[in-house]
Structure 1
Amino acid sequence: MIGTQIRPAGPYDEERIRRFLAGLSLHTQTLRFFSGIPSPKAGLIRTLLAVDGRRDAIVAEHEGEIIGHAMSYRGGVADVEIAIVVTDAWQGRGLGRRLIGALLARALSRGATTVGMDVLGDNRRVLRIIRRMWPDATMKVSSGSVEVTAMIQSAGVFAEQGSVGPPLTS
């Protein structure tokens, strides 16, 4: 993944995030947002870029364009809830795992020990990845989605940290 950079997101990414979201297939939009988003609204874009004491957001960038997005929110059932999406052309190349590793390294440095996520039940690829990364994860099916809770350090999350580089700072 030469030329791919994972870095903190910020308000300067608004237009690139808008293009990124608009470029996702309906299938990928639905797997991430549980519905299609034909025209990304300003509120959604601001939410995806929000970074404060409770929220964090990072992006993967290649040749100046965003190709992946990951965000976390402190609170809820687990210490940190996460959500990741990778553009269709970059899926299956390990970028999602790199985003998870970078995001959870940041959460761990802020004291988080458990991670949670909601995954659409039809998202078999991500559920398989979760099972490999967190074999002891708790999975609960609820209204067509799977609520996942796991220990951050029990995962093989940081096995690929060498490819991510040092933890990002905000």
Structure 2
Amino acid sequence: MNQTQTRPPLVRRAGEPDADELARMLSGLTDLSRYFRFQTAIGTPPRQALLLRMLCPTGTAFVATRDETIVGHAMWAWAPGESTAELAAVIAEDDQRHGLGVRMLSIAAADAIAAGATHFLFVVSAANERSIRMVRRRWPDATVERDGALLTFVAPARLPNHPKERPAVVDEQIGCDEASAPHERRPIDNAVPAI
């Protein structure tokens, strides 16, 4: 673990004030990481319209920060189908493979369930072996269909099976329409049981 990873990330609700910092994080990703998350080129820096869709979706968005630097993003948004929520996450290169993505997806999943989601949708590149393993391991009852280079998983809405390890993450929230300073943000209720 490098020096920048010594402080645990803080997971909180995202909002429009996070646009510049989210653009910085996305611009620092490898082309492969960006492709796996978006299945298309997003530009460097990403367009403002994309950032706003990520920060204020039809569901809820979350960011993970360390020293006010965004190191992860997760969201859920209503998808076609009765009470179906699409889940997605992207984690900064240095913070990948430490459990943060699963933690953030767990928070997004809990929020989507609270909003009435009965199914989850994951759209994953067939070449993204890590994400495919993660979905199959944590939502083993998911069905999958292939459409060219994409796999579409649909699973009953429930919290994922949790890994044994857990990153040290502190949770707090800020709404999309709130523009409070970081020190004014409120603690989030423990949306996901400790793992």
> TM-score by structure 1 length?
0.88
Task: Indicate if the aligned counterparts of 2:13 and 2:63 stay in contact, CA closer than 8 A.
Answer: yes
Task: Indicate if the aligned counterparts of 1:6 and 1:58 stay in contact, CA closer than 8 A.
Answer: yes
Tell me: CA distance 1:32–1:127, structure 2 relative to 1, closer, same or farther (3 Å).
Answer: same
Tell me: CA distance 1:69–1:166, structure 2 relative to 1, closer, same or farther (3 Å).
Answer: closer
Residue aligned with 1:156, SS: coil
Distance 1:102 1:20 in 2: 20
**1:129 and 2:138 aligned:** no
Q: Give the drift of 1:152.
A: 2.2
Letter in 2 for 1:19: R
Task: Indicate if the aligned counterparts of 1:24 and 1:88 stay in contact, CA closer than 8 A.
Answer: yes
**Structure showing the higher helix proportion among its residues:** 1
Task: Indicate if the aligned counterparts of 2:13 and 2:172 stay in contact, CA closer than 8 A.
Answer: no
**1:116 and 2:121 aligned:** yes
Task: Indicate if the aligned counterparts of 1:56 and 1:73 stay in contact, CA closer than 8 A.
Answer: yes
Task: Indicate if the aligned counterparts of 1:50 and 1:57 stay in contact, CA closer than 8 A.
Answer: yes
Q: Which residue of 2 aligns with 1:104?
A: 109
Task: Indicate if the aligned counterparts of 2:8 and 2:167 stay in contact, CA closer than 8 A.
Answer: no
Where in structure 2 are there 5+ consecutive unaligned residues?
Answer: 1-5, 176-195
> TM-score by structure 2 length?
0.77
Q: Give the drift of 1:114.
A: 1.1
Aligned-residue CA RMSD in angstroms?
2.4
Q: Give the drift of 1:55.
A: 2.3
Distance 1:100 1:169 in 2: 17
Letter in 1 for 2:86: E
Task: Indicate if the aligned counterparts of 2:106 and 2:160 stay in contact, CA closer than 8 A.
Answer: no
Q: Which residue of 1 aligns with 2:48?
A: 42
